[in-house]
A and B are shown apart, each in its own frame.
Chain A
Amino acid sequence: MSRTTRRKILSSAFVAFCAGSVIVALVPLGFILFFVITQGIRALNVAFFVHMPKPVGEPGGGMANAIVGTLMVSGLAALMAVPIGVVSGVYMSEYGGTKFASVIRFAADTLNGVPSIVIGVFAYGVAVLPFKQFSALAGGFALGVMMIPIIARTTEELLLLVPGAMREGALALGATRASAVFSVVLPAALPGIVTGIVLALARIAGETAPLLFTSFNNRFFTTDLRQPIATMTVQVFTYAISPYDDWHRQAWAGALVLVVIVLVCSLLARVATRRLERMHARG
């Protein structure tokens, strides 16, 4: 065949390969979602959300304490990470050109890449051993350490997107750098930053490894932050490796709740980002 035909065939094959890769990647996604939804729906009932776990081998019971626990630990993490992350992002966007900012950026990316189990070991040494206590606070600390770099980078990127004219306008009117940032630039970027925080929350709510040695687990319901606390991820893990069918069903239900949370947050983030882009394109 002519060289041209050969080249055309090669090109079509390549295009087919790329399209095929998309399908290949979507297959496991579909599989996972299918199983999580079908298996999880079966065990999802009011009891799941309202009841405590039952003793080993007794059917029934739910994950109420774990759901509250996940909310509490994630809330603690956000409380710790949002101020530090946002202000770090402000620094990196305002003084981004300096060597120091590059070091900060490098540290943020490094921290992002640290395996979550290593963060768990770190948090154990720093937040558990000295107090001789597994606690929700330690779990929140571990997750907070993971959230800080995510929020810092997202904040930096979003602040940089705000048109320079806004900052310069404020400065030209005699504002200090601080009030220019906090009164003008930050509010403009706020929807995006909030989106970033929501996404970061969705990500750490699904973490298991750092909680294994920090917040540990708790069969009972507790609001005491200095005590170990149940979380959905650790509970799903405990149930999954057990031999009890009832616990397996509850594990699927827990996984379904986690996936729904992630899905909702991702969708919200998409919608918010789209609206932001449209706003910026107009203004």
Chain B
Amino acid sequence: MRLRELQLTAFGPFTDAVIPFGAAGACDLHVVLGRNEAGKSTTLRAIDALLFGFPHRISETQIHPAGKLRVGALIEAVPDAPARALARVRGNVRTLRDGTDEVVDDAVMQALLGAIEPALYRRLFLVTQEELREGGRGLLSGGGELGVSVFGATLGAGNLAGVTAQLKEIASRLFSPNANATKPLLNASLHAYHELFEAARELAIAPADYEHANELVAELAAARERQRKTIDELARQRASLQRLASVSGLLARRRVLQDELAGLGTLPELAADAVTQRELAGAAKVKAAGELREHRARRDELLARVRLTDLTGLEPVRDEQGRPQVDPVGTEVTDSINRAADNNVKLTEQARRAAEDLAGAEQKRADAAAALQAAGSAPAPAIELEQFTAALRATLPEIQTAQKQREIVARQSDQLERDLAALEPVLTLEQLRTCQPPAAALIERHEAAFERLATRLKELGDERKRLQAQHDDGQLRLAAASTAGLAELTEQRAAARADRDKLLTALGRELEQGRVEMARAIYVPLQAAVPAADRFSDALLARGGQVAEHERLAAELEDLAGKIKGHDDEIAQLIGERGEAQRQWRALWSGSGFEPLDEPAPMRHWHEQFTALRARALELDQQRQAQDERIAEGEMLAEAVRAQLARGGEQIDRRLPAAQLLDRAQAVIDDVQARIAEHEALARTLQERTTAVEDAQKKERQARQAIDVWTKEWNELLAPLPLTGESSPPRVRDLVTRLNALAGLLAQLREQEAQIAARQRELGQADERLAALCAAAGCKSVDELPAIERAVLDRNRKREQLGELEAQIVERGERPIPELERELAGRGNDEIAAELDAVGRDLETARGEQEQLIERHTRAEQARDELDHGADAARARDRAEQQASIAGEQAWSYLSAKAAQILLEQAIAYHREHSASPIVTRAEELVRQLTAGSLQRLLVDEMTPGQPMLVARRGSGEELTVDALSEGTRDQLYLALRLAALEHHLSVRPPLPLLLDDILVDSDDERLAAALPALASIAERTQVILLTHHQHVATTAEHVLGDRVRVHRLGA
């Protein structure tokens, strides 16, 4: 793959810059000369972006924003194959485009690149000055070892020895198999694990230790329990003695009380309230006798009042003693009689008023019937007149508006005709209605075509003028660049070379035929002919720049003349196109009924005005028609109104304005409506009064019926009462009052008789209770009772004292009295006190011992609990495991470094064995060129078995190891190896552009001139692009390589 052209369309400082590498030719070497370092580096990054895409972060956005960056190229899959246009834009996907900006699959680019990975391409096909220096240092640090040197150059890896050393260093920092090593990280981690694990063991409690501590705790707990029991027993003894001491006095008092009770002898057992019972019975007897006397006097008074009562109109039953027996009339019946009497008054009044109202209503109805008869029949309504009048009134404002608008439309029509007359070209009202011009878009398209042709013709004219000026200037410069003498010098060099070649041919022939003498004879003139030919060559070389400039100017002039002719041809073609455009313009208007101007531009304005005017005309026509319709409708309605009025006998003049006509019609309508309303009012009055008579009749009937109902209910109410004679409401009220008074007296009499019987019963009961109390006390008279009662009370008090005393003894002694008597037997108070003192002392001693045991037990528990560090040991062990995990990560890191180191060492050896030889052979040729013959040979020194070394030999035969070479020469040696390895690579892989980043900048002129042919030889196999910002590199390349190199100057 190679680039035919690189297009820096929008990248860094470049806009539409192109590097035309052109066809591959025999030698595909290019020097790209940038104005400065930035331009050169930018170009390198542009090529990288083209091939592999833009990186995410990019700095080439000085002019073009990141989203607009674009790099393109014409790419040949193989030299001289048809080129494919591809471009790269910035983005995440679909960044590869073709010449028409269509998206192209990335696989196309990958196929062109032979699927090489980006990193590998950069490694193999990009050589920088830094890599050369690093490579030189690598040769030195590798001591020139063959494998390291050649494999490093093959990989473009610079300092391979350095990589190996670095991997070794990393591995050794991580791990040493030496058991005593502690410094490497992994060894340190393992050591730390060990220590942490031991620490965990230290923190752990040994089960035996804990068990012993626990046993001690258990023993002390048992001792504490024994001591507690001893104390409990002593306390029990002391409590017992204290109990006996507290009851011995009480027991003595008990015995005294028992003796006193025995001395009282036998007494009756009286009820506790015997005295109270006796006193209550006596008092009840006195009270009952007094009340009996009072009730008997009251009864006699009531009997006298009954005998004096008036019984007229009443019919009472009488008892066996001849006393009347009556029940009172109940409150409910009394209330009913009172309510019925009041009702009778109200009903009588209502019947009277109903009869009067009926007579009045009948009189008013007769008056209304007479008035309606006097008024006669009702007039007919004017319905049609009302409808036409209403319609005319509703449309009147619209009709008036339509008449005013008619005048405005007439004025606007006049203005439209004036506007038509002002159009260019002019247009009549008739044409406005009938003309069918082409669409505005078509006119615009023709206008654009006319304009494009005009613009292009102007541009071509200007460009042609500029080219003509350049051509004229070029002719002057060509005339100035003199080539005088060059042709002559060329001929002289050709003659000298012909002489030299003739002599060489002859010399060869003589030598072949073994004619040594003849050969010697030829050799003498040959010695002179060779320098002569070289002199002419050198002279020509010295004037090479002048010739090249002359040729370049001539080529430029020819190119300019060609371009001018091209312009003339294009102008002629455009004039033809313009004629055709004018023909099509006229054809466009042929069916429109109108003749346009020659140019589309003014017609576009005309068309806009035409469209507006036609819209206005159409609108005016529509308005006029609507107004006429409105006016005609109004006239029709007025005629209908007049006809209706005439039918009513009123003739109206047609000239009367519509408003006045409406007033007249309204007056007629109002008169008819008033008369109809008056007749309707009279009919309504008669109807209302007929209804009033009917209501009065109904009320009079209802009043009479109410009186009948009352009479029936009154008779039913009186039937059960013991009354005789007239039953008018006032008399009945009086009889009921007297009946109730008699019933009240009889009730009081019965109450007094009941009270008398009750008092007599109470007197009997009191006598019975007193007799029973005497029987209980064993006496015959009530008077003896108080003395007996006092003796019994004294005995009972002593009994109570004895009971309380015994309860106190049992409570204090906590035992039954006989048991206490037994416990105490034989001991006095003093003896008990002495025993109490002794037990108290024992108890105090035991408690002191108990405190000591508690303290010892607590201490033992603390000691045992202190052994327990909780999870401390487990946590320490966890930390040890964490350290083991860290060791695991370090182990993997170590293994990857160590494996990488082993692989690299083995790979170097493998490569040395299988591929180094042809690379060294080719590198020898290259280093000879690159050092301008300073180094002639590149040899392999096998003196140290298994470690072959590179050795360089000078022309003088002096052999130099790598460390004996100067720094510059060592860099050249690396470059030779690098290029040789690349050639080796290209022998089996497809070619790709080799990018050289100013790699010759540090070479002196002699070495620069010597190195360029070496690059040219690579360029015979693949495209080589040397980027530099040093003019002398480009100049020397052109000088040394002539047409084998192409120099491209970057213009930002």
Chains A and B form a bound pair:
no
